[in-house]
Chains A and B, each alone.
Chain A
Amino acid sequence: MENRIDKNSYTIFFAIAMVLIVGSLLAFAASSLKPTINENKRLEKQQNILYAMGVNNNDEGSAVFVSTEEAPELFSKYIKKQYVIQDGKATENDQAYLIDVKKEQASAKAGNVRKLPLFIGEKDGQTFYIAPIRGKGLWDAIWAYVALDKNMVVQGAYFDHQGETPGLGANIKQRFFMDDFIGEHLLDASGNFKGIDVAKGNADPKNENKTDNEVDAIAGATITGNGVTAMIKSDLKLYKSYFDNLKNN
């Protein structure tokens, strides 16, 4: 027994057999679970978009989504139009929420024109323009859904992350941080795009001055905060021409 399993031929046979068995097991698990996982992601996106425009079950301090069961129904109720903006032209497309921002960013780097999804929601007579954005945090990707009004003033935001440090950078998805963005202006007084800085040493920690283009940073999460600032500046800027057209018409 001892001899047989220590032979080189047996070792090689064992390695090959193991790779085949484990490989097919993983492939089977991945392919059979993929539809369920994709469906979860799709519903999550709907929940995120609804959250940004204020359709959510928030309680006192935490960020709570509408349930996955309600999400599709509420999504079609509140989201009136979905646009894809390409080359400055906005075309209506009711599958815009399936656009993968990550892939679009990669293809923009390769020289293609980026497709920008934009969702137009209506709630209590107010119109929300919701844009998905994506950037880099400390460890991995961060992304957000930002709801704007037609003057590019933030009406709501939902931030999420792949793997920021729990208790520090991960707090960007806490309400105390996200709610600070509500009312912040993306444009400066003369109408140029300025973005919003996640600022440390902020003179306005209670966030009362909404036109200073600054929100208070999370202590200990400088790089994640910088990522949020950069993501807002680079991605939301792309939507400015759309809002300019909106105002002129």
Chain B
Amino acid sequence: MGLLSKKDAKLITDPLADNNPITIQVLGICSALAITAELKASIVMAISVMAVLAIGNVVISLMRNIIPSKIRIIVQLVVVAALVIIVDQVLKAFAYELSKTLSVFVGLIITNCIIMGRFEAFALANKPWRSFLDGLGNAAGYGLILIIVGFFRELLGSGTLLGYPVLGNPIPGELTGLYKYGYENNGFMLLSPMALIVVGIIIWVQRSKNKALVEDN
């Protein structure tokens, strides 16, 4: 039934919740802290990581039988770096505006632990189609958390979503919306430490809903 077998579908659904790369494996935290001050940047980063991880997983999976184990990490690094550079160049040529929003984040993708982690843990041992699905799933799980964090940080920190003011006008003298009742933007939300706290809250909520995720000591 359907396009995917049950086992294949799990590759996509698992990383969204019970095996989420950020909240469960605690990977890719650095970029989640760096870029989530704006929702738009979070979304663009999620999409580009998805492209790089899915294609990279397929490439590594295709090469899995010929990669010498001694230099496999270097091979993985070369693959992800090459992909990121190509993605960057293509964006600059055909989607210049978007590439400007992305600029630094594209470079950050190379250092994303999730990508190397999936290459090492999954693509080296699985066939291309399954690796592709695994890449999509993990990038989606990563992107989901990024978008949740970006949503709260931009909303509470700047009072906007995707750049549109949703809480009213904060300019002194012409206050509207919530600001009229004394609400003020929380500048702390825009700083990286707050992203860590928001991620922490998400982890807390997730584990209190699903006790199976809590480890016993």
Are A33 and B37 in contact, CB atoms less than 8 angstroms apart?
Answer: no
Measured in the bound complex, the distance between the Cα atoms of B41 and A165 in whole Å is 11
Query: Majority SS of interface residues in chain B?
Result: helix
Q: Within 8 Å of chain A (Cβ to Cβ): is B117?
A: no
Measured in the bound complex, the distance between the Cα atoms of B154 and A1 in whole Å is 53
Q: B residues within 8 A CB of A205?
A: 172
The segment out of B20-28, B65-73, B128-136, B200-208 that lies at the interface is B65-73
Q: Which of B31-70 contact A (CB under 8 A)?
A: 35, 37-38, 41, 65-70
Q: B residues within 8 A CB of A168?
A: 37, 190
Q: Within 8 Å of chain A (Cβ to Cβ): is B82?
A: yes
- The interface bits of chain A over 7-38 (1 if a CB of B lies within 8 angstroms of the residue's CB, else 0) are 00011001100110010011001100100110
Are B190 and A11 in contact, CB atoms less than 8 angstroms apart?
Answer: no
Q: A139-B104, A168-B37, A168-B190 are in contact. Are A37 and B82 (CB under 8 A)?
A: no
Cβ-defined partner of B70 (8 Å) among A6, A37, A166: A6
Q: B residues within 8 A CB of A1?
A: 65
Question: How many Å from the CB of A238 to the closest CB on chain B?
Answer: 27
Q: A26-B85, A166-B41, A167-B154 are in contact. Are A36 and B68 (CB under 8 A)?
A: no
Measured in the bound complex, the distance between the Cα atoms of B104 and A80 in whole Å is 36
Measured in the bound complex, the distance between the Cα atoms of B187 and A10 in whole Å is 56
Question: How many Å from the CB of A11 to the closest CB on chain B?
Answer: 4
Q: A residues within 8 A CB of B158?
A: 167
Q: B residues within 8 A CB of A36?
A: 93-94
Measured in the bound complex, the distance between the Cα atoms of B68 and A5 in whole Å is 5
Measured in the bound complex, the distance between the Cα atoms of B35 and A167 in whole Å is 9
Q: Within 8 Å of chain A (Cβ to Cβ): is B176?
A: no
Q: A14-B67, A37-B89, A61-B165 are in contact. Are A220 and B190 (CB under 8 A)?
A: yes
Q: B residues within 8 A CB of A110?
A: none
Q: Within 8 Å of chain B (Cβ to Cβ): is A202?
A: no
Q: A15-B71, A163-B103 are in contact. Are A22 and B82 (CB under 8 A)?
A: yes
Q: Within 8 Å of chain B (Cβ to Cβ): is A162?
A: yes
Q: B residues within 8 A CB of A61?
A: 165
Nearest B residue (CB) for A161: B103
Q: Within 8 Å of chain B (Cβ to Cβ): is A109?
A: no
Are A14 and B71 in contact, CB atoms less than 8 angstroms apart?
Answer: yes
How many residues does chain A have at the interface if contact means C-beta atoms less than 8 Å apart?
34
Are A18 and B38 in contact, CB atoms less than 8 angstroms apart?
Answer: no
Question: How many Å from the CB of A223 to the closest CB on chain B?
Answer: 14
Q: Which of A75-92 contact B (CB under 8 A)?
A: none
Are A62 and B163 in contact, CB atoms less than 8 angstroms apart?
Answer: yes
Cβ-defined partner of B93 (8 Å) among A40, A165, A206: A40
Measured in the bound complex, the distance between the Cα atoms of B172 and A206 in whole Å is 8
Q: B residues within 8 A CB of A44?
A: 96
Question: How many Å from the CB of A142 to the closest CB on chain B?
Answer: 12
Q: B residues within 8 A CB of A219?
A: 187
Q: Within 8 Å of chain A (Cβ to Cβ): is B92?
A: yes
Are A5 and B89 in contact, CB atoms less than 8 angstroms apart?
Answer: no
Are B96 and A40 in contact, CB atoms less than 8 angstroms apart?
Answer: yes
Q: A residues within 8 A CB of B182?
A: none
Are A37 and B92 in contact, CB atoms less than 8 angstroms apart?
Answer: yes
Measured in the bound complex, the distance between the Cα atoms of B69 and A10 in whole Å is 11
Q: Within 8 Å of chain A (Cβ to Cβ): is B191?
A: yes
Q: Which of B73-108 contact A (CB under 8 A)?
A: 74-75, 78-79, 82, 85-86, 89-90, 92-94, 96, 103-104
* Interface-centre pick from B41, B82, B165, B173 (highest chain A CB count, 10 A): B82
Q: A residues within 8 A CB of B71?
A: 11, 14-15
Are B82 and A25 in contact, CB atoms less than 8 angstroms apart?
Answer: yes
Please, could you name 11 A-B residue pairs with CB atoms under 8 Å apart, sorted by A? A5-B68, A11-B70, A11-B71, A25-B86, A29-B85, A33-B89, A62-B163, A162-B104, A163-B104, A167-B153, A206-B172
Closest 4 CB pairs of A and B: A167-B37, A163-B104, A36-B93, A11-B68
Taking A14-B71, A37-B93, A167-B157 as known contacts, 20 extra A-B pairs with beta carbons closer than 8 A to each other, sorted by chain A number, are A5-B65, A5-B66, A5-B67, A5-B68, A6-B68, A14-B66, A14-B67, A14-B75, A15-B74, A18-B78, A22-B78, A26-B82, A26-B85, A29-B90, A30-B89, A33-B90, A40-B93, A62-B163, A166-B37, A167-B153
